[in-house]
Amino acid sequence: MAHKIIINLKIELSLNTSPICSICGQPIEPKQRMSLDHYIPKCHGGTDTADNLFPAHTICNSIKNDLMPDEFEQQKQELYQTALDNWHLKRKDKIILENALKHMR
């Protein structure tokens, strides 16, 4: 059942002209990779239900990892900067992170 919900949400979001990343707040452009973020991570008891799943850039979701929302907000700028400085990123992902950091400052 959970997989069906995730598939339906991904289809619905892909039909949307420009969903917004729930993590960085930027639009997810058609050529950018999108994933579904578990607002409350599954390892902390989060579910695969629509009220816990939100669109996100794949790179942003990777940075958030399994942090709880409040933990992530406290570390967000540092995590984005570390990823920008140390991860091997595709150009598209690098631009997403640079723009997100600009809006955090």
- Over 60: is that where the pLDDT of 16 sits? no
Residue 64: pLDDT over 90: yes
For the chain, the first-to-last Cα distance in angstroms comes to 41
Contacts of 70 (CB under 8 A, 6+ apart): none
Q: Rounded distance, CA 39 to CA 22, Å?
A: 9
45-60 pLDDT, tens digit per residue, is 999 988 999 999 999 9
Residues found in the chain: 105
| CB neighbour list of residue 12: distance below 8 Å, 6 or more residues apart | none
At 10, the pLDDT band (50, 70, 90 cuts) reads low
In this structure, are residues 38 and 18 in contact, taking their beta carbons and an 8 Å threshold? no
Quote the CA–CA distance of 41 and 64 in Å, as a whole number.
10
